[in-house]
């Protein structure tokens, strides 16, 4: 057999003019649409009309003579992914703790562990300029991968200038971000009392891309004050809930004393009692699961089934790139395969087993689940008229995906970040036909490398690219 084929690379189409600007319309046509909204439904070949920052119609065909047209033939179009917990300040430390467990268990191989190496060493040495470039680079990297919203958990609020740099780095990436205001250390740390200044200065209106969440870690002294300040300001309260950190007793007490509410975002929820789970579910609290990290770093078994059985809102979150990728395809595949592994094991043992997670459910947790957790579901998470146009276009004609036979299945079981073709945030095009728009990545990378060098030197840790275990001094 001998096929003749064209080996030239076609040039990119010009960027649609005026996308995201007030009153300007963009029409996406011929798309396979996964709306994540029951009322809107899904389409084999559908259209989405966007005006300014918002979706105004989703249908088979839409007549919009003034709109700029994007032909989405061969593309799956869906809402952008929502990551409900990521520590972007660690971007310069990517891969450095590839083998890390959370805590030092006394084995020499675990001498370099997350708690001691990152939280008690590296993070203490951040200057505001490190915070800014780490936040910005990490944000752009996820935007490139189709994650249009993040809650960034920044634990480096060593001064008000550090907090300002974290917010400015988050905003500079041009995507939707929730600023998670967590702890800092040293004489100039103002957490949690600086929350009001930060809220008034940066988050004083509801119509911007960034919002704020209050961190309230129950393993740190003074969390009661942080929860109170957060609730007085009307901010959701987020916290890590991890059995490995010995939190079960405190968490049970808080459950018993009526502290939980629909404003709580509980991250991980590993190793907690059935009692506390029930109270959290009854209170309408949210669960953010970082499945690959929980398995890799000894947080405990990811409690996917508990959360599903209790009917709780679940989202996915990437956590730390010093140990695992912040890519959402990895998140979705980890969730679906682990849930099915446990259920399949029960089936093989002849037991009654829970429903096997389906790809469409997994996509829902990766989009609407996150939007609900961050209290943004009235604005994002699905493709519905009236919502903001946070939209991704995924290439279903790519070598690793074609031919397309099942859309949700293709996204969850076949795709990876190279299939993210185009990304929109509030109608503005941030990635177009495979390339980020308006980011000088070479110069940003140089800045990030300089930050990495400063941090390693201040932490007294030598770079060792060929280390076969996490480098221990
Ligand atoms: Zn975390």
DSSP sequence for 1-28: -------SPPPPPPPPTTTTSTT-EEEE
pLDDT tens for 248-265 read 999 999 999 999 999 999
CA angle, residues 418, 142, 19, in degrees to nearest 5: 85
152 Cα–ligand 1 center, Å: 9
pLDDT tens for 106-130 read 999 999 999 999 999 999 999 999 9
268 Cα–ligand 1 center, Å: 8
* pLDDT band at residue 244 using 50, 70 and 90 as cut-offs: confident
Percentage of the chain surpassing pLDDT 90? 94
Cα–Cα distance measured from residue 7 to residue 26, given in angstroms and rounded to the nearest whole number = 31
Q: Is residue 94 within 8 Å of residue 424, measured between CB atoms?
A: no
Q: Is the pLDDT of residue 3 over 80?
A: no
Lookup: tokens for 188: 């100039």
Strands of 34-99, DSSP E: 43-51, 54-59, 68-71, 75-79, 81-86
293 Cα–ligand 1 center, Å: 9
Lookup: tokens for 162: 């550090």
234 Cα–ligand 1 center, Å: 22
H helices then E strands: how many in the chain?
A: 13, 17
pLDDT tens for 51-62 read 999 999 999 999
**pLDDT given at position 469:** 85
Q: Is residue 213 within 8 Å of residue 203, measured between CB atoms?
A: no
**pLDDT given at position 206:** 79
In the sheet that holds 286-289, the strands lie side by side as 81-86, 147-154, 176-181, 210-215, 237-242, 264-270, 286-289, 314-316
**pLDDT given at position 2:** 64
How high is the mean pLDDT of the chain?
96
The model carries a pTM of 0.97
142 Cα–ligand 1 center, Å: 16
**Reduced to 3 states, what is the DSSP secondary structure of residue 335?**
helix
87 Cα–ligand 1 center, Å: 7
* pLDDT band at residue 12 using 50, 70 and 90 as cut-offs: confident
144 Cα–ligand 1 center, Å: 22
């Amino acid at each position: 057999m001998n096929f003749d084929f064209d080996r030239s690379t076609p040039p990119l189409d010009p960027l649609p003019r005026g996308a995201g600007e007030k009153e300007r319309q963009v029409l996406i046509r011929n798309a396979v649409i996964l709306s994540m909204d029951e009322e809107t439904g899904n389409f084999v070949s559908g259209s989405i009309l966007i005006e300014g920052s918002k979706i105004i119609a989703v249908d088979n065909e839409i007549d919009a003579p003034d709109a700029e047209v994007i032909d989405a033939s061969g593309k799956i179009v869906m809402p952008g992914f929502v990551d409900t917990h990521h520590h972007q300040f660690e971007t310069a430390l990517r891969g450095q703790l590839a083998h890390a467990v959370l805590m030092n268990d006394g084995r020499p191989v675990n001498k370099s562990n997350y708690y001691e190496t990152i939280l008690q060493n590296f993070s203490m040495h951040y200057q505001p300029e490190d915070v800014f470039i780490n936040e910005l680079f990490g944000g752009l990297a996820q935007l490139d991968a189709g994650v249009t919203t993040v809650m960034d958990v920044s634990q480096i609020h060593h001064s008000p200038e550090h907090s300002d740099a974290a917010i400015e780095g988050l905003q500079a990436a041009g995507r939707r971000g929730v600023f998670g205001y967590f702890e800092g250390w040293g004489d100039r740390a103002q957490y949690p009392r600086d929350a009001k200044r930060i809220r008034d200065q940066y988050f004083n209106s509801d119509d911007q891309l960034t919002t704020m969440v209050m961190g309230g870690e129950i393993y740190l002294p003074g969390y009661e004050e942080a929860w109170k300040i957060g609730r007085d300001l009307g901010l959701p309260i987020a916290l890590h809930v991890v059995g490995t950190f010995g939190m079960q007793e405190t968490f049970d007490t808080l459950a018993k004393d009526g502290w939980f509410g629909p404003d709580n975002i509980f991250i991980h929820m590993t190793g907690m009692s059935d009692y506390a789970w029930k109270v959290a579910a009854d209170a309408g609290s949210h669960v953010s699961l970082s499945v690959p990290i929980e398995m890799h770093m000894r947080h405990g078994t990811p409690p996917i089934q508990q959360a599903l059985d209790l009917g709780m809102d679940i989202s996915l979150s990437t956590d730390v790139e010093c140990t695992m990728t912040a890519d959402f395809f990895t998140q979705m595949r980890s969730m679906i395969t682990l849930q099915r592994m446990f259920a399949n094991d029960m089936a093989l043992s002849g037991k009654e087993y829970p429903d096997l997670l389906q790809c469409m459910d997994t996509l829902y947790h990766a989009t609407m689940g996150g939007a609900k957790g961050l209290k943004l579901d009235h604005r994002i998470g699905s493709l519905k008229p009236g919502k903001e146009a946070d939209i991704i276009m995924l290439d279903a004609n790519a070598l690793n995906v074609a031919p397309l036979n099942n859309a949700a299945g293709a996204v969850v079981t076949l795709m990876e970040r190279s299939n993210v073709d185009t990304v929109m945030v509030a109608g503005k095009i941030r990635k177009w036909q495979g390339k980020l728009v308006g980011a000088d990545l070479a110069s940003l990378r140089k800045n990030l490398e300089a930050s990495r060098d400063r941090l390693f030197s201040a932490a007294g840790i030598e770079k060792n690219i060929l280390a076969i275990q996490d480098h221990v001094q």
